[in-house]
Amino acid sequence: MNPWLDGVGMLGYYSRTVLYLLLIVVWGMLIVYRFLEKRFGGHLNSTERLSLAMSGWIVPAMLWAGLYAGGTFLFGKAIGVTLSILVMLISLAFFSFKSIHVSSTSIALILLFVISLVLKFAFLKHATLPSYFDSAEHYRIIRYFIEPADDTLSSYYHTGFHILGAAFVSFFDLSVLDFMLAGGQFLLAILPLSLFLIVRHETDSIAAGLFAAVLAGFGWHMPAHLMNWGKYPALLSLVCISFVLNFAYLLYRKGSFKHQNSGNHLLLAAVVLVSAFIHTRSLIVYMMLAAAYLLTAWRTRIALKNQSLLFVLFVLLLELIVLQNDAALRTLLDGYINKDGWTLILLIALTPFAMKEFPNLTFFLLASLSFFVAGLFVPVHLPTAGVLTLLDRPYVQMLAYLPLSILSGLGLAGLIRFMQRHISVSTMSVRVALLVAFGIVLAHAVFRYDYYPSECCQIANRDDLALLTWINASLPPDGSILIAASPVNVTPFEQTEIHAGVDGGIWVAPLTSRQTVLAWERLDLASATVHAEICRRRLGYVYVGGMPQSFSTSQLEGNPAWYQQVFALPRAKLYQVTNCQ
Amino acid sequence: MVIMIRKFVSSKWMILAVIGMALFVLLTVSIWRISSLAQTEPEIAPRLVLKLGYCGVDMDALCILSFGRDVDGNTVVNLFVPGRDFPDFYLIASRVTGDYLYECSRSVNVPTSVYCVGSALNLNERVEFSIFSQEDDRLLARGGLVLKAFLISAPGMETGTEITATETATETATATDPESGDETATPLPTGYPNDP
């Protein structure tokens, strides 16, 4: 398997979707770039504006989606499309292309994006359908917003992501699956580049900025592993979080928080709202970042600055020890230790230099990470959802790459400064140090980074696709199908179990519009009681996928009087329930 | 001239030159890759009859994923089809007893997934499969296989080895149907697992 060649092939396969994604994203980037130029002027150079625009595009894109969705809903698709095109063209009329200055660093960022895009798309070579059970639900909700005739959808969530998806699919007449698959990998390619700004601006080092961006893209299993979980709204919310973090940092550096600057504050508030619309948990993240900022500001006024830095590190280590002893949460740490050992060691080696040279931002990052982890242990009672926590393990596992990448960038810049200040080193020695740091990340990217879907989470296979096509063509529309399910635990407080589909059966309802029922417990299909219950619930069929937790074929085959095989491939089968009395 | 040379060997230009060369190499490889993939598209190479065989790990060309059956005892042939633009087709299975037509259905949602249904095939029977375009009955692909087992995925999918069209399925492929939902199988970790 060659990630580069596979990525090129997949880019060709999804070329239309990628082109349209580029259209929207580049348009959004131009708007944001112009805004930053007007607002920050010489305070930001062109590359920093470009870097921030690589996450800031989400704001114009969401506004566009809202405009298109509203226009289409009220006046029809033709008006919606016309309005959208007009707004895009008019907004570009205010943009002066002469103001774009392409520096060599900007070219490096763009090149990094192109390389990243190709490599991320290798994932799609072996992605049959979007991964895990979340994806099927996201697909259903996007389809619901496009065609609200589906009255089986009783509730939806992460509305912002689904509206953006629906608008994109409807406007460009694309497939929802293509949007999810290609869109996810596109976001993974562009997201890390926005970290260049904060590190470059803080350290005045282009190399450190690029290092943080490269590390964010290829040094950790996150955020790429999110696509194995099918957590598309969470990934989109990361784009917002990245922008808010960078933008708030800029405002802080410009002193905007000390003075009345309603324009910038309003924009910040608007982005926070957009973010909440996409994923409500991002609000918790912003509160934690704000708390970390307040702590950092307080720290600058106290005498024990170094001690406070060590204290927050100590608190974080304590939290991680507690985490490791919890069955539901230890996966978070295991993910980084098992998958990202080399880059973790690099981070640990660089952190002292970050603490020495950039203590305030380092404190802020460590405090933020501490708050994120602490959020795993704070229960929240919601009437509709039961006991949750402020942040759940998958979300924190996803978030952690942000402070870790920035910290690594600060550490690298700190190391260079340390070498230049305390050791008489030549420029060549500094370059060697940079080469070693980048070399470790490159080695990790070549030998350890996983470009392809994980076995853990590809619950649908190609035999499922064939069976789904057969179901669509052959089964009556009111056919009801039992699909395998398993309890899902993500917090240490869960008492009521949430059940989720475990195999390709999860895609029956979204792709064929047949009704499905999740197995209510671990069912022994050889049992007469279970057969009677299946009949009582009027379930006409049983779906058997290719996962270890799928229903047992031997139980079904061993009871031909109750279950008749109607379609069978090695890893996907359908049985009709018979002899219901 | 001297100034130009000095400028060229300065570190910035050297870096740009190295990056430019690397990009040129990557671009050349990519173009070669795209053109080689295009060779699997009958639209682009209309006279080329593709070779049909079992799928391997790297699915780039038209290939057979698995065999199965439906409620009427017909044989189901599950195929991987490269690219969205691969024409709709039907399958002809040439056996000792004659030629048999298999109707093919394509997934609306994933155009690379096609399955064909036709008369039941026998174990250990050598069958030559031919794929014809529905539009103009043009021969698109052909390949011979000996069916060693049903309800087993293409051998290359499990072992990661390439299987050619004329190879017989190996003994490992005749193992019993992989048991899904086996009581003794290790259950998946719950709740958004990491890589196993």
pLDDT in tens, A99-109: 667 788 999 99
Decide: residue B1, CB within 10 A, 0-12 exposed, 13-18 middle, 19+ buried. Answer: exposed
> What is the token pair recorded at A536?
């009582």
**What residue in A sits closest to B16 (Cα-Cα)?**
A104
pLDDT reported for residue A258: 57
Residues facing residue B127 across a β-bridge: B145
pLDDT in the model for residue B177: 36
State whether the Cα torsion A170-A171-A177-A180 is positive or negative. negative
User: Measured between beta carbons, which residues in chain B are less than 8 angstroms from residue A487?
Assistant: 190
CB contact under 8 A, B182 and A567: no
Q: Of the CATH numbers 3.30.470.20, 2.40.128.110, 3.40.710.10, 2.60.40.10, which one belongs to the domain with range B50-174?
A: 2.60.40.10
Query: Among residues of chain A, what percentage have pLDDT more than 70?
Result: 94
Reported as a pLDDT band with limits 50, 70 and 90, residue A202 is: very high
Do the Cβ atoms of A548 and B29 come within 8 Å?
no
pLDDT band at B98 (very low <50, low <70, confident <90, very high): very high
Contacts of B195 in chain A (CB under 8 A): 221, 225, 228, 338-339, 450, 454-456
What are the C-alpha distances in Å from A413 to residues A195, A425, A471? Answer: 14, 15, 58
So what's the pLDDT on residue A407? 97
Report the amino acid identity of residue A23.
L
Question: What local confidence, expressed as pLDDT, does residue A524 receive?
Answer: 94
Q: Is the pLDDT confidence value at A243 over 50?
A: yes
Q: Is there a contact between A548 and B191 if contact means CB atoms under 8 Å apart?
A: no
**A328, A551, A566 ranked by CB distance to B191: nearest:** A328
**Shortest Cα–Cα distance, B142 to chain A (Å):** 21
- Mean of the pLDDT values across residues B146-170? 47
The answer to whether the CB atoms of B180 and A13 lie below 8 A apart is: no
Average the pLDDT over A446-471 and give the result: 95
Report pLDDT digits (tens) over A125-162: 999 899 999 999 999 999 999 987 655 555 667 889 99
Distance from CA of A5 to the nearest CA of B (A): 7
Give the E-state strand segments of chain B in sequence order.
Answer: 50-51, 53-54, 63-70, 75-80, 89-95, 98-106, 113-118, 126-133, 139-146
Q: What is the mean pLDDT of residues A342-360?
A: 95
The better pLDDT of the pair B8, A315 is held by A315
Residue of A nearest to B107 (CA): A469
Cα gap A518→A485, rounded to integer Å: 6
* pLDDT given at position A492: 60
Say yes or no: B28 contacts chain A, CB-CB below 8 A.
Answer: no
- Scanning A173-304, the segments in alpha helix (DSSP H) are 176-190, 195-203, 206-218, 226-229, 232-254, 262-278, 281-299
Work out the number of other CB atoms within 10 angstroms of the CB of residue A161: 24
pLDDT of residue B41: 55
For residue A255, give both structure tokens.
């002193």
The enclosing H or E element of A544 equals: strand A541-544
Q: Which residue has the higher pLDDT, A408 or B21?
A: A408
For chain A, give every domain's residue range.
3-447, 462-577
**How many A-B residue pairs are in contact by the CB < 8 A criterion?**
186
Residue A424, helix vs strand vs coil:
coil
Whether B125 shows a pLDDT value over 50: the answer reads yes
Q: Which of residues 158-177 of B touch A (CB under 8 A)?
A: 177
Q: What is the pLDDT of residue B165?
A: 32
Is the per-residue pLDDT at A353 higher than 70?
yes
* Whether the Cβ atoms of residue A170 and residue A72 lie closer than 8 Å to each other: yes
**Which pLDDT score, from 0 to 100, does residue B39 have?**
56
Better pLDDT: B56 or A459 = A459
A71: left (phi over 0), alpha (psi -120 to 50) or beta: alpha
Question: Worst-scoring range by mean pLDDT, A154-158, A167-171, A416-420, B117-121?
Answer: A154-158
Least confident of A178-182, A270-274, A482-486: A270-274
Asked whether the predicted pLDDT for residue B148 surpasses 90, the reply is no
Task: Find out whether A498 and A535 touch, Cβ atoms under 8 Å.
Answer: no
pLDDT of A366 strictly over 80 = yes
pLDDT digits (tens, 9 = 90+) for A499-548: 899 999 999 999 998 999 999 988 999 999 999 999 999 999 999 999 99
Q: State the CB neighbour count (10 A cutoff) for residue B169.
A: 19
On the question of pLDDT at B76 being above 50, the answer is: yes
Q: Which of A440, A482, A291 is nearest to A370 (CA)?
A: A291
Residue B166, pLDDT score: 33
Best residue in A469, A506, A547 for a mutation probing chain B (most B CBs within 10 Å): A469
- What are the residue ranges spanned by the domains of chain B? 2-38, 50-174
Q: How does DSSP assign A156-177, residue by residue?
A: ---HHHHHHHHHHHHHHT--HH
In this predicted model, what pLDDT tens digit does every residue of A49-59 receive, in sequence order? 999 999 999 99
A469 to B115: CB separation less than 8 angstroms, yes or no = yes
Q: Quote the ipTM score.
A: 0.88
Contact state of B33 with A5 under an 8 Å Cβ cutoff: yes
C-beta atoms of A550 and B180 within 8 A: yes
Q: How confident is the model at residue A67 (pLDDT cuts 50, 70, 90)?
A: very high
B107 touches chain A (CB under 8 A): yes
pLDDT tens-place string over residues A246-270: 999 988 887 765 555 677 888 888 8
Task: Report the range of poorest mean pLDDT among A557-566, A569-578, B3-12, B126-135.
Answer: B3-12
Q: Between the ranges A89-93, B137-141, B155-159, where is the mean pLDDT highest?
A: B137-141
Pick from B110, B192, B195 the residue to mutate for testing the A interface (most A CBs within 10 Å): B192
Angle of helix B11-38 relative to helix B2-9, nearest 10 degrees? 70
Question: For residue A63, what pLDDT is reported?
Answer: 93
The predicted pLDDT at position A37 comes to 86
Eight-state DSSP code of residue B175: S
Average pLDDT over residues B138-149: 87
Q: What percent of chain A has pLDDT over 90?
A: 72
Shortest CB distance from A9 goes to which of B12, B37, B105?
Answer: B37
The beta-carbon neighbor of B65 closest among A328, A331, A462 is A462
Give the closest residue to B121 by CA, choosing from B112, B129, B109: B129
Q: What is the mean pLDDT of residues B129-148?
A: 92
Contact A375, A399 (CB under 8 A): no
